[in-house]
Amino acid sequence: MNLNITFSPTFLTLAAMAALSAAVVALLLYHYFPLHLIYKSKVGFESMLDAVNEPLAVISANHTVRRVNKAYVDMTGRSYKACVNAKCYKVLRGLSAPCPDCRLEETLERSEIKDVEISPHPNGTGSITITFSSYAMPIKGSAAERCVIEHIRDITALEALKNDLERRNKFLATLTHKLRAAQRSIKAELWVASQIQIGLLPPTLPQLDNMRIDMTYKPVADVGGDMYDFIHIDDAHLGVFIGDASGHGLASSLIGTLSKMSLYNHTHAWLPTAELLGLMNKDLKAHIHTSHYLTAFWCVFDFENGKLTYSRAGHPSQIVMRKDGTLHSLTGDGIFLGITEDAAYEQKEFIFEPGDRFFWFTDGIYDIFKDTDGAGGGEREFLGYDRFAELIKLTVKLPFNAVIGSIKKSLADFMHKDDYTLIVAEIVNAQES
């Protein structure tokens, strides 16, 4: 059977008009609501949020969550669906009203970035910091909703480090206070010790008819290990003692003080110089139980016979300079005091005459150095005993009262790392004194 279907002109016209109208409507809808662009924009924005590995949320003015990223979802422990269109304070902290430290309204009102520097972590342990930034979120066409982007950073670890640092700083502050108090106490005790030590040194230099004496004494610490004394035996005899305890500071000062007591104890009656050092050695050996020791030089002037008797206990060889500049070293065998109990000391003599100058000193005055490159690069120039003796020789033509000043001026550029003592004496005729 054949079907013969025909359309009237009127029907075709109406169908064409309907199709045209549908096309026009579709074009208008696409113009005002470009769905593929809106979808693309939405997907692009959410991808941008997810690219940030710290929690982000887009929140409207009425505290409604519009968008969140994956990090936000993970932090709250809720699904994406449960977060979007819910109240931010409900999602973040389970509250029924805005958080006490919320800066959303202030951010929208001033269009400024606002920070919450520290806030409790939503999980109840730790801390977070929150930054609010204003954002115009597109909704339809060119319209936009005023929102904020809430950026959350977990600072639990930083806060723990900060608290630990504060505890450590508090501990250090307390420790520093205690150390300073202890330092003040030690300084006060060292001052007392220095006054005791100064009290044991001769308050004035001897005034003699046949000898002039000058000296300088410089401890590198509050107290020192150098000691010296002038013992008036009788009108014709004067004893001169100089000693240097090992090291410097309080320990060496105590050794020097003990030595001074021993010296006083054994100079009430005349003794040969070697015997006196032997007795002092036994005293120190009996009372010093550390590795400390004392070097010493003890001599006695016999002005009637023009003779010097002396003994040496490991001390640098002292120097005599004749009027013509000839130098003589006062040498002699003998070990440090306080090392071995049965030490023996050599006794020697030197015949002196008017014009002779005697130099007693400790090694701190020549065991010195100075930088030679001017930049602290390690190049050093050491003085040493022999060069110090040459400095003494250069003073041969100087007046007696200018000798020590000249030597100190020559040593001004050198660094002293130990105490030093320098005593200078000149033999004169009685009418010259």
Domain ranges of the chain: 25-154, 159-200, 201-432
Q: What is the pLDDT of residues 210-261, one digit of tens each?
A: 999 999 998 877 777 899 999 999 989 999 999 999 877 778 888 888 899 9
**Contact by Cβ (8 Å): 297, 312:** yes
Q: Is the pLDDT of residue 200 over 90?
A: no
DSSP E strands, 187-326: 211-218, 226-234, 237-245, 294-302, 307-313, 318-321
pLDDT score at 50: 76
- Confidence bin at 23 (pLDDT 50/70/90): low
Q: What is the pLDDT of residues 142-185, one digit of tens each?
A: 688 999 999 999 999 888 898 899 999 999 999 998 999 888 88
pLDDT score at 159: 86
pLDDT score at 40: 45
Q: Which residues contact 388 (CB under 8 A, 6 or more apart)?
A: 361, 365, 366
pLDDT score at 430: 63
Name the more confident of 1 and 120: 120
Name the more confident of 141 and 404: 404
pLDDT score at 316: 97
CA separation for the pair 318, 298 (Å, rounded): 10
Question: What are 242's strand-pairing partners?
Answer: 228, 297
H helix intervals, 250-294: 250-265, 273-287
CA separation for the pair 268, 279 (Å, rounded): 13
Q: Which residues contact 97 (CB under 8 A, 6 or more apart)?
A: 89
Asked whether this chain's domains 25-154 and 201-432 adopt the same fold, the reply is: no
- Confidence bin at 25 (pLDDT 50/70/90): low
Domain 201-432: what homologous superfamily? PPM-type phosphatase domain (3.60.40.10)
Q: Is the pLDDT of residue 1 over 90?
A: no
The b-or-e profile of 191-206 (16+ CB within 10 A means b, else e) is: eebbeebeeeeeeeee
pLDDT score at 325: 95
Q: Which of 43-47, 81-85, 317-321 has the highest mean pLDDT?
A: 317-321
Q: Which residues contact 101 (CB under 8 A, 6 or more apart)?
A: 116, 119, 130
CA distances from 119 to 95, 101, 102, 104, 109 (A): 15, 8, 10, 15, 22
Whole-number average pLDDT of the chain: 87
* DSSP assignment string, 384-424: HHHHHHHHHHTTTTS-GGGHHHHHHHHTTTSBP-S-EEEEE
Best CATH choice for the domain 25-154 from the list 3.40.50.720, 3.40.50.300, 3.30.450.20, 1.10.3720.10: 3.30.450.20
Q: pTM for the whole thing?
A: 0.62
**Contact by Cβ (8 Å): 177, 369:** no
